[in-house]
């Protein structure tokens, strides 16, 4: 679902907070949550159906109200909507662009940091296969799956983060990381400290 002819994007919400998980946990950032997703993961806790249509000029004006120049584009699945116009406009406004994607849809060039959270182990459909050629960070929600097999077909990433599923299996994740030291623990700190 790329932008329509009048170039509006379906925006779920824009907010300012700390990145709660992964390599950049604790970093102040503006979050641009786009609506819509191409997968239906059983543990997803995100409302990605609600949206407001916004032009790129409206988006840039809104995200520029905040002091951080790091923007995290998330969803749903942001690759359904992000395009070169959005990337160029945000860069022109001085933003470093991070995206959190399931990796099943090619991305436009110019994104500064790509976090891929593959869902093939939980969705188990052909459309959940990762198609990206470059990934900065792989972030996996651990449900007991064979993580090494899950990532074996992915491009090498600079960082690997393993996250408990809804905080329920933290001990299992810690044990896994201790046995596989390239992984780092990723907790959803925004939920722990009760921020958006």
Report mean pLDDT in 10-residue bins for the chain, 196 residues.
Answer: 69 96 95 92 72 98 99 96 98 99 97 92 72 96 88 94 86 95 89 74
> What pLDDT, on a 0 to 100 scale, did the predictor assign at position 13?
96
- In a domain, residue 1? The reply is no
Active-site residue (options: 5, 45, 146, 171): 45
Helix axes 84-92, 56-63, angle to 10 degrees: 40
37 is catalytic: yes
Helix (H, G, I), strand (E, B) or coil at 148: helix
- In a domain, residue 186? The reply is yes
d(CA 161, CA 54): 32
136 is catalytic: no
Helix (H, G, I), strand (E, B) or coil at 187: coil
- Domain CATH number, residue 120: 3.20.20.70
> What pLDDT, on a 0 to 100 scale, did the predictor assign at position 109?
98
- In a domain, residue 2? The reply is no
> What pLDDT, on a 0 to 100 scale, did the predictor assign at position 196?
80
- In a domain, residue 33? The reply is yes
Domain of residue 134 covers 8-192
- In a domain, residue 45? The reply is yes
> What pLDDT, on a 0 to 100 scale, did the predictor assign at position 186?
92
In 162-196, which positions are buried (b, 16+ CB within 10 angstroms) versus exposed (e)? bbbbeeebeeebeebbeeeeebbbbbbebeeeeee
pTM over 0.95: no
Active-site residue (options: 8, 41, 112, 165): 41
- In a domain, residue 43? The reply is yes
Strand partners, 100: 115
Look at the block and give the residue holding tokens 């993580």.
Answer: 147
> For the chain, what is the domain count?
1
Give the pair of three-digit tokens for residue 174.
Answer: 């810690």
- In a domain, residue 107? The reply is yes
CA torsion through residues 25, 86, 111, 82, sign? positive
- In a domain, residue 3? The reply is no
39: nearest Cα among 131, 114, 129: 129
165 is catalytic: no
> What pLDDT, on a 0 to 100 scale, did the predictor assign at position 1?
45
> What pLDDT, on a 0 to 100 scale, did the predictor assign at position 181?
96
> What pLDDT, on a 0 to 100 scale, did the predictor assign at position 43?
64
């Amino acid at each position: 679902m790329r932008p329509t002819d009048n170039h509006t994007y379906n925006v779920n919400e824009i907010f300012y907070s700390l990145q709660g998980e992964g390599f950049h946990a604790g970093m102040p950032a503006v979050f641009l949550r786009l609506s819509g997703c191409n997968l239906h993961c059983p543990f997803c806790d995100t409302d990605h159906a609600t949206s407001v249509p916004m032009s790129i000029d409206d988006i840039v004006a809104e995200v520029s109200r905040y002091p951080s120049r790091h923007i995290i584009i998330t969803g749903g699945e942001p690759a359904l909507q992000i395009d070169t116009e959005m990337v160029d406009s945000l860069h022109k406004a001085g933003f470093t662009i991070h995206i959190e994607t399931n990796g099943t849809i090619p991305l436009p060039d110019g994104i500064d940091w790509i976090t891929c959270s593959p869902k093939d182990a939980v969705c188990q459909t052909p459309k959940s296969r990762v198609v990206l050629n470059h990934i900065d960070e792989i972030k996996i929600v651990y449900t007991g799956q064979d993580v090494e097999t899950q990532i074996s077909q992915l491009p090498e990433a600079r960082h690997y983060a393993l996250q408990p599923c809804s905080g329920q299996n933290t001990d299992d994740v810690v044990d896994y990381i201790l046995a596989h030291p390239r992984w780092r623990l990723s907790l959803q700190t925004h939920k722990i400290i009760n921020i958006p």
